[in-house]
Amino acid sequence: MENATDAIILAGSMLLLIIALTLTISSLTSLKAETQDMLDDRDQLLATTDEAGYINYLKGGDNATRTVGIETIISSIRRLRKEDYTVYIQVKPEVDVSNLSSDIKTEIDGKKYIKITLAGVGGKYVEDKAVTFEIYKRLKSARFSEYIGIYQNATSEGVSNANKSTYKIITYEQI
């Protein structure tokens, strides 16, 4: 009789353990699905190309990562050497960037950009205080939406996107 009681208690304990594990796994699965739904609703992936490669950046409708001023952009340019990412500053058509070096001015899909990166064009301007001062002077009262994403370098034909080199990118869009 004593063995039967112990067996029933052991079976009940196992049943409670199975129920607890099932509830935990079910809760985590639904949490993951809800989180993914929220992210899908908030973010959409936008893409464009320039002469150096393929640019992806996250843009969630009217919701950027944050709204910043030119001081944040200058700070991001100064951190380039340490963190190795690319900065694109999209300026409005009426902003005069004619005196800036042609190495850092670019046009993508009819929009004017200032592109600063360590690799390739713009790298020599990371430490150039005259260039950053000119950017600051022209855009000091402007506000920008910040978007963060990835940058893929152009590679030889036949290389899959998964095997291309990718770099971090921050895009600032003047608002």
Q: Summarize pLDDT for 49-62 with one digit per residue, the tens.
A: 555 555 656 554 45
- Using N-to-C axis directions, what is the helix angle for 129-139 and 70-83, rounded to 10°? 150
Q: Is the dihedral of CA 14, 20, 24, 25 positive or negative?
A: positive
Question: Rounded CA gap, 147 and 83, in Å?
Answer: 17
Checking if the pLDDT of 11 tops 70, the result is yes
Domain residue ranges of the chain, discontinuous segments joined by +:
1-42, 43-174
pLDDT band for position 15 (cuts 50, 70, 90): very high
Question: Rounded CA gap, 54 and 79, in Å?
Answer: 23
What average pLDDT does this structure show over 29-43? Answer: 71
pLDDT over 90, % of the chain: 13
Q: What is the pTM of this model?
A: 0.56
Instruction: Identify which of 9-13, 123-127, 135-139 has the greatest average pLDDT.
Output: 9-13
Q: Summarize pLDDT for 69-125 with one digit per residue, the tens.
A: 888 888 888 777 777 777 888 888 888 777 776 667 777 777 888 887 775 555 566
The residues that bridge with 18 in the sheet, in sequence order, are none
Checking if the pLDDT of 63 tops 60, the result is no
